[in-house]
Chain A
Amino acid sequence: MEIDAAGIQSIPADQAPPTPLSMFVWRFRRNTKAVVGLVIVLSLILIAIFAPILAPQDPLDGNLSASLVGPGGEYLLGTDKNGRDVLSRLIYGARVAIGGALGVVIISELIGVPLGIWAGYKGGRVDAVIMRFFDLMLAFPPLLLSFAVVAAFGPSLRNVIISLGILYVPFAARVVRSVTLVQKEMVYTEAARAMGYPQRRIVFRHILPNTLSSVIVVTSLDLAFAMLDIAALSFLGLGVQPPTPDWGTMLSEGRAVLLTSPHVAVGAGVAILIAVLGFNLLGDGLRDVLDPRQANK
């Protein structure tokens, strides 16, 4: 970590005054957590995109005569019980992990952001009803409610994404609501109202852009939670189904052969850990960068 306290005064005087974006970049680069998180997240995204180029073997096609080979040698991280290359499966697993988590967060925010703005802007009874309902949802761990969905509609990645997406709605909505409550009382919003601007304009021009930084932080942290929840469901056999290469499923398969071939479970577990850590660090770091007051709490 660079010396933060001294760094504050280190903008050279001969430079142009900082824009909000350059201020953001400058603060971001001084935040170790944010930078490490971003590096991990970007690497993961690149791995997911270029999986076919990066993977040394076919993730689905096993060589049964090379079942449960240990790490090192021809297979860098060894093979699983079907003789499939663990490294290649881990690389392809990044697609499911990131795609799944993104799906959950996109669904939750498409519903949660408008609901949060609506509740915060309207206030009164609308707000009370929506918030009571969310309290009820939050009173319960999302994973447990997904169990009921999976029991009803069967185990699949799609069902997991939809159910978690809906169960994550309160997370996004509550944050957006609290920002809306503050923005609604700001002088410029007041002025826009006094000038007779339509509500639509006030919401889209004044309130929505101001929720952006909170939404970014929530997105990053929710991606970490979603990744953990999807992996957990797959680990229990209730999410991604074999033979799709997926970290949670691989960990579950690895658990069955733990005594003889721990490399399968450890590889998958480390992959989940690094990915979740990356999104957690990025989210934590972004919160420090975007909202210094919150960070000191």
Chain B
Amino acid sequence: MARLIITRLLTMIPLMFIVASVVFLMLRFVPGDPARIIVGNQRITEENLQNIRVQYRLDKPVLVQYGYWVKDLAQGDLGRSFRQRADVNTLILERLNVTAQLVISSFLLSMIISIPLGIISALRRNTWVDFSATIFSLIGASSPVYFTGIILILLFSYKLNWLPALGEGDGGWDTVKHLALPSLALGFSLACVTTRLTRSAMIEALSQDYIETARSKGLSARTVVMKHAFRNAMIPIVTVAGLQFGALVVGTVLIEYTFGIGGLGSLIVQAVQVRDYPIVQGATIFIAAIFILVNLIVDILYAVIDPRIRY
């Protein structure tokens, strides 16, 4: 296990390096003067413009810039924003908290909705419960997450007046109330995919011979379903749950924009709109790193769930 973690962390470095380089080089080979982006619409003398170029090392050739950038990256420094007077690291850390809360609560909600629903659908196959769950998840999976969010705002904020529609709240209970709808929108979207998967994984597991054996031994239905079938259905579920992290990240960007939440997602979108390259590349690399870590955790979980898997 320790060896797995170490090798995976080591393979992570070249992977990160390639992602980082592609993003960096793509943004640098673009026509236009980045110094002009930094000043925006302000009037500025050519001399000051030159100072900015020197300050951001934009006067150097692209390859030299790349060298500096790799050196900084190796030390964990993602550079400095073009538009906001702050380091990219600081900006990401500031915004990380609310995004992390959103991601974790959405993920938990999606699991709470989808796993029981998937199991029930599999156990009551081809009944009205199963059909409605299938139709529900098909429609949910086709609805863009931000549209699901807008429907929730219309229903729970404007119509029923239960929950706030915009912003991230001022901490504590207020934050819980503010993040409830965005988490529900995102969690529901993810749940639609996981429900269908849990259902088919459970049907597969329930059709195996050892289920028959367990039943004939006189074990309770509960033990058969949860201990025998579900445990074996967990492997495909965990795989997809890990893969869904990508959908979760993209969903967070869209949901933050929809609900006006100032998290990592809105940071990226704003940066793309004003072409603040250091933030775009820094945030992309940051997310890539988390992405790879999540996949590592998924691999470790396999071994925990299924003792037959050895690394």
Contact = CB atoms under 8 A, between A and B. Distances in A.
A86 B241 CA distance: 38
A48 interface: no
Contacts of B19: 136, 140
Interface in A132-151: 136, 139-141, 143-145, 147-151
Interface string A270-296: 001100110011000000000000000
Contact of B144 (A147, A235, A262, A281): A235
B295 to A, nearest CB: 8
A169 B18 CA distance: 18
A277 B142 contact: yes
B127 interface: no
B95 interface: no
Interface string A230-271: 011001111000000000000100110011001001100100
Contacts of B27: 148, 151-152
A251 B145 CA distance: 12
Given A136-B18, A140-B19, A238 B272 contact: yes
A262 B275 CA distance: 31
A125 interface: no
Contact of A232 (B146, B246, B271, B280): B146
B139 A277 contact: yes
Nearest to B254: A232
A153 interface: yes
Contacts of B277: 151-152
B30 A273 contact: no
Interface residues of A, number: 39
Given A148-B23, A148-B281, A237 B273 contact: yes
A160 interface: no
Nearest to A232: B254
Contacts of A223: none
A228 interface: yes
Contacts of B257: 235-236
Interface in B229-250: 246-247, 249-250
12 contacts: A141-B247, A141-B250, A144-B284, A147-B280, A152-B277, A232-B146, A236-B272, A251-B144, A265-B150, A266-B154, A272-B144, A273-B147
Interface of A: 136, 139-141, 143-145, 147-153, 155, 224, 228, 231-232, 235-238, 251, 254-255, 258-259, 262, 265-266, 269, 272-273, 276-277, 280-281, 297
